[in-house]
Structure 1
Amino acid sequence: MSAETHSHPEAKQACGGCEHGHDETSLPRNFLVAASGVLLALGLLLQWLQAQSFTLTLLCFASATGVGALLVVPPAWKALTHGRLDMNVLMTVAVSGAWMVGEGAEGAAVVFLFALSELLESWSVGRARRAIASLLKLAPEVAYVRQADGSYKEMPVGKVEAGIEIQVRSGDRIPLDGEIVSGASSVNQAPITGESMPVEKKPGDHVYAGTINGEGTLKIRVTKRVNDSMLARITRLVEEAEGQKAPAQRFVDRFAGVYTPTVFVVALLVALIPPLVVSGDWMQWGYRSLVFLVIACPCALVIATPVSIVSGLTALARRGVLVKGGAYLEVLGRLRALAVDKTGTITQGRPRVTGIFPQSDLTENDVLARAAAVDATSSHPLAQAVINEARERKLSWPEAEHSQSVTGRGMRATLEGHPHFAGNHAMAHEMGVCSPDIESKLHEIEERGESLVIVGHAPHDDCPGAVLGILSIGDPLRPEAPSALQRLHKAGVEKVVMLSGDNQITASAIAKQAGIDEAYGDLMPDDKITHIRRLKERYEHVGMIGDGINDAPALALASVGIAMGTIGSDTAIETADVALMKDDLIRVSDAILLGRRTLKIIQFNVGFALSVKALFLILAFTGHTSLWLAILADTGATLLVILNALRLLKDSGSLRRWSQARI
């Protein structure tokens, strides 16, 4: 079911918005509201002109009431048959009472303004939902499929199966998820990840439906059918999230469930007690009772939360942040502490050579080339980091002979007839080639929490051997990590703690570089759970950022689990409460800031709606307002609440400006 046709359940139940069978954008509903408004305006105009035809004026008001009642009475009857007193029942009683006391104009005004407020509510929810549903329209409806003779023929995407090869020309949108078979290009992935810069793609890389091919023609092997594409999954997840009630929304629902029957009882007492106790005028107090009923309608109050939640979820989805429901969005807004994994979260998740320190007359490139030659047959992550660095520098190296892996130490091999080694500190000691200067440099590297590879000439015959150079290898910090963590603190996150399975020295060193408050290393999964429990005891609302799989226990225990960079991982998307489609910590701070902003808007909307109610309830009791002014105030409050919530749909620039103002 598409987001465009799936009306919002909470809005339905609360205000009867779509219970009478009208879709958010249905023409009959729009026509009925417009007709009621026109007839009301005509009646008021005739009344103002003091037209001689009283019957015509009355007919206009009656027609306006009747047309508007088609949107109110059916759901009111349905509510009564189900034993509920909702706002449609309340409005039906108020309008009927207005006509009974001779206030036909006010009865017509009440039913029109109420129908208009309901239309505004359904429009606002529909607008927020259509914003994310529009993503599906980004993917083309046809694909150019390879035929047996090598040509390409246009075919509807719904008929394209996984494994088929398609062609995407320069400037076209990619119709289906797949893997590049041939061609290279830059691809704009903004619809999926929210990132502004195109990503370079080459054979073997994955591409996603709805993204835009840049300058080159790509031949792609389809990996997922149209309904299973990443774009379709994102849309479905957001739709499911929008259907889940947030805590604030559940509170309002419970409040409205008690509030509406109470209003009926109080209105009845207002109509009966003054005339019976102080001999008041029955007509006057009956009218005040009706005004009380009208202004008591909690439309603005009920719509305040769902529109804000839907807008917030949609705004984040458009930035590449998937939040699984309103409850998690609220928790994001309340976070006081955050636990983070190290590898792949604070760091880039892949070891790299961070420094080369020659200890002889060799250059850096010479040392690196010899290390790559020795490590050429090794699959160890440190050896692969050395080889990758040599390749990036486009170095060539001699072919090694007699390569041998020394468990727990490193590699040995013969280069150009001479034995060499590339290994750790212990290997250098065993070779007997360490010196005070070498030890000092090794200690400096180890203090930074980095690994090291010592490259040397192994002792043999009359040669004592020597260290030729030292390579430091680390998992580099994400470039955005320090600024993202700074933003988190400024946004109100009191404590950021690193929980890592790496050694304590490395964890502490990375934490210091990133600006993390505390770091705990040498942790097993059970240890991480213990730390999460401690944080929850102290801060209550605690988030955990990890990879969505290895950190699953900690992610599950945290108030909200956040998975980093899940664009290629279906499992991570399903596991986490919040999934970041791109490896970018700034998105975490964006999510928390928008969660905080959503909470503030909800709190303002609820407070504003209650304040308007309280003011007009007092005015109704004292006789200083009328039916149509009461419903006009309620409709105005509803409209302001909606417009305030829809501000969340603005672009990321406005979020950044808000965060700066907030900070």
Structure 2
Amino acid sequence: MEDIQEKQLHEEHSHEEHGHNHDHEDGKMPIVLYFVGFVLSLIALFLGGETNLLQNSFFLIGSISAGYHVIILEGIGETIENSKTQHKFTPNSHILMGIAAIGAFLIGSFWEGALLILIFSGSHFLEEYAEGRSKREITKLLEMNPTTARLIMSDGKTIIVNVNELKVGDQLQVLNGDQVPIDGVILSGSTSIDESSINGESMPKEKTQGDGVFGSTINGTGTFSMEVTKENKDTVFSKILQLVNQNQENQTKASSIIQKFEPKYVKFVLMTIPLVMVLAPILLDWTWSQGIYRGLVLLVAASPCALAAATVSVTLSATSNLAKRGVLSKGSAYLSQLAGIKAIAFDKTGTLTKGKPEVTDYHFADSVEDENIIDIVVALEKESNHPLASAILEKFEPKNQLAIAVENQIGNGLTGDHNGKTYRIGKPTSFEGVSGDYVRLNEEWSSEGKTVVYVAENEKIIGLIALMDIASENAKATIDYFKKHGVHTTLITGDSEMTGKAVGEQLGVDEVIANVMPEDKSNIINEQKENYGITAMVGDGVNDAPALVKADIGIAMGEGTDVAVDVSDLVLMKNDLSKLVKAHEISLKMNHVIWQNIIFSMTVVALLIVVSLIGLADIAISVVIHEGSTLVVILNGLRLLKIK
């Protein structure tokens, strides 16, 4: 995990959006140089008269100092670096400002040239700060990385060791208030744990013997011992760090287009401006001085900085917002695609349902004493490790604890004797001669996708219990939400058609496809893509992995298998489908704000070009409006950090 952290921190410093490779590489030096340049320019502003040469020298030196980082390193330096890499001239937009400032100095407009550099560089640092806010929201996760653990030795003593040294099977002690160092299972003790770093839930979770715990979470007031179940590189938190790393490196489609378009646009401007300077005096009766000056104003006006920044703060803010809510993406491109989905398919077990059966209905004959029967049912089921037995034990509370010798017969179920009578719990097909209400209820509950077991006394049916893997808390609301937005919903399950349709009807999905083998799921997703367009798949198991890969957007439930999480594009921590609804809402908002920014920035550029050509703007006005529009774009994107 430390390797991941070091890589993440290195990349955060070495790679910034739209080519700002040199951001902060000299620590605070760029800011210091900027303020030195600002002070020199301010001094020059108050010099005049006989000191004109000194004044212009101060403006020139101040401009070089203030613009060193933004103009020289990023404008000229990166243009040279990118041109070498691409084997062709590949300028960035900053070089336009540098050329405009040099032109202003050459025609004697030292104050306007210095003002251009001061405003452009100053706004650039503000943009970096604004963009950094959204990045810091995501990388706060890195600060929660546990580094040490209390290892329990064979003699019972504890020693402090590095988390990276831990192996599966090691036993650890976690004191109250400590970070849980690694994923594992509690061996002894009970406590409450703050798991917000993993699943976004604000309420602590009660934990006791046998419960799983996650590295980086915060232990409450209890002390417990635990056994390590995963190596450090495979923990849930390590997976989160990997997703965050991919998240910050990935870009939306719109962002990629803009970055590819920027060098071509800058080259077009660099070719057009000299033509304006040369042809305008000839065709429009301007003086040569006017032609050069208005060409420089046009150069500033045409710079696409706001357009280049149109997507950066938006995508980082959106992914940061969702990361805090327990939705992690491997890139903002997937969030952008999520906004445009036309179909979404769900696995059933563990995705739309809770993943384990619960007792939904039961009925016992009026002639028997319910409490006594429940005592017997519980006594029989205590001797079974079947999931249905666990569900029955969770449902029924015995009045008396009975000790019954139980025989588990394959095909017949559980059998035991009590007070001279033989009791059996088994599937309906293992009993003969059943009639009346029991048959009717069995057929009714079975048609609803429920599993039914009979309870018999001396082979005479005296009751029946229905169990079902019921829908998860937010499943119905999630299906309703996507249907409301015109998205086709499909339930894909390996269960029987009766069970699949029962769940599908309960939730209101548009289509149910049952009896599906894992390899068939990817083919179904392919058909959905052909029939509807952009398709998402939501699943939690290894059997869902092929479909998650095939889908345009694969979405994994966070408590599912590692394989499902690894191959997915989005991860919903804590198996909460309401987080998927929130992700879709924010993705829609993200795309909306991106287009707001693009349209706004292009409008400002077009307006500045027009007013520059007709002589209504000078360099100072053009710079103020241009950089102001860039800041507006950045701040508009940061609004997504605050979406509730």
Amino acid at match of 2:511: E
Counterpart-to-counterpart distance in 2, 1:162 and 1:380: 28
User: Which of 256, 261, 273 is the matching residue for 1:250?
Assistant: 256
1:442 corresponds to which letter in structure 2? N
Tell me the secondary structure at the aligned position of residue 173 of structure 1. coil
**Counterpart-to-counterpart distance in 1, 2:238 and 2:521:** 34
Per-residue deviation, 1:493: 4.7
Answer yes or no: is the 8 Å Cα contact 1:356–1:368 preserved in 2.
no
Counterpart for residue 493 of structure 2: 500
Counterpart of 2:427 (choices 424, 427, 444) is: 424
Give the letter for the 1:269 counterpart.
L
Q: Distance in 1 between matches of 2:335 and 2:204?
A: 29
Query: Which letter maps to 2:35?
Result: A
Partner of 1:54: 52
Q: Is 2:451 the partner of 1:451?
A: yes
Quote how far apart the aligned CAs of 1:536 are: 2.1
Counterpart among 601, 617, 636 of residue 593 in structure 2: 601
1:557 aligns with 2:556: no
TM-score w.r.t. the length of structure 1 is 0.88
Return closer, same or farther for 1:9/1:283 CA change in 2, 3 Å cut-off.
farther
Preserved CA contact (<8 Å) 2:378 2:398 = no
* 1:552 counterpart letter in structure 2: A
Q: Aligned pair in 2 of structure 1 residues 37, 236: CA closer, same or farther (>3 Å)?
A: farther
Please say if 1:343 is aligned against 2:349: yes
Q: Secondary structure at the match of 1:582?
A: helix
Secondary structure in structure 1 of the residue aligned to 2:444: helix
Match of 1:332 in 2: 338
The CA deviation string for residues 590-617 of structure 1, in whole angstroms up to 9 with x for no partner, is: 1111111111121111111111111111
Structure 1 residue runs of 5 or longer lacking an equivalent are: 459-464, 656-663
Equivalents in 2 of 1:245, 1:179: separation in Å? 38
Query: Which residue of structure 2 aligns with residue 575 of structure 1?
Result: 567
What is the CA-CA distance between 1:189 and the residue it aligns to?
A: 0.3
**2:68 alignment counterpart:** 70
Q: Shift in Å at residue 519 of structure 1?
A: 2.5
Q: Distance in 1 between matches of 2:567 and 2:614?
A: 56
Question: Per the alignment, do residues 549 and 454 of structure 1 end up closer, same or farther by CA in structure 2, a change over 3 Å counting?
Answer: same
Q: Is 2:41–2:62's contact at 8 Å kept on the other side of the alignment?
A: yes
Report the aligned-residue RMSD: 2.7
Which digits, 9 at most, give the CA deviation of each residue in 1:120-178, with x for residues without a partner? 33333333222222222234554444456544455555565655443332233323333
- Aligned-partner Cα distance in 2 for 1:526–1:505: 21
- The equivalent of 2:410 in structure 1 is 405
Paired with 2:230 and 2:409, the residues of 1 have a C-alpha distance of: 43
Amino acid at match of 2:442: L
Note the alpha carbon deviations across 1:263-322, whole angstroms, 9 max, x for none. Answer: 112212211222233443111111111111112221121122132222222222222211
Superposition deviation, residue 187 in structure 1: 0.7
- 1:341-400 CA-partner distances (Å, limit 9, x unpaired): 11111111101221220024234444444344555555544344334545x657634423
Q: Secondary structure at the match of 2:410?
A: strand
Q: 1:396 aligns with which of 389, 393, 401?
A: 401
Report how far residue 191 of structure 1 moved.
0.9
Q: Deviations over 1:451-504 (max 9, x none)?
A: 10011124xxxxxx42110101111221222233334445x2532221222222
Amino acid in structure 1 at the alignment position of 2:529: K
Structure 2 counterpart of 1:470, from 460, 464, 470: 464
Q: How far apart are the structure 2 equivalents of 1:436 and 1:163?
A: 55
1:524-559 CA distance string (max 9 Å, x none):
335434442343234312211111421122222221
* Distance in 2 of aligned mates of 1:271 and 1:548: 65
* Residue 512 (structure 1) aligns with: 505
Q: Assess if the C-alpha contact under 8 Å between 1:5 and 1:23 holds in 2.
A: no
Of all paired residues, the percent bearing the same amino acid is: 32
The equivalences for 1:285-364 within 5 A come to 285-364=291-370
Q: How far apart are 1:186 and its partner, in Å?
A: 1.1
> Which residue identity does 2:436 align to in structure 1?
P
Q: Is the 8 A contact 1:564 1:582 kept in 2?
A: yes
**Conserved in 2, the CA contact under 8 Å of 1:132 and 1:235?**
no
Q: Displacement, 1:30?
A: 1.3
User: In structure 2, do the counterparts of structure 1 residues 154 and 425 end up closer, same or farther at CA, with 3 Å as the change threshold?
Assistant: closer
Matched residue, 1:644 = 636
Unpaired stretches in structure 2, ≥5 consecutive residues:
1-5
Partner of 1:262: 268
Deviations 1:165-220 (CA, angstroms, capped at 9, x unpaired) = 43332233323333322210111100110012211111232222321212211223
- Distance in 2 (alpha carbons) for counterparts of 1:176 and 1:419: 49
TM-score, normalised by the number of residues in structure 2? 0.90
**C-alpha distance 296-499 of structure 1, shift in aligned 2 (>3 A):** same
Q: Give the Cα separation in 1 of the matches to 2:377 and 2:574.
A: 34
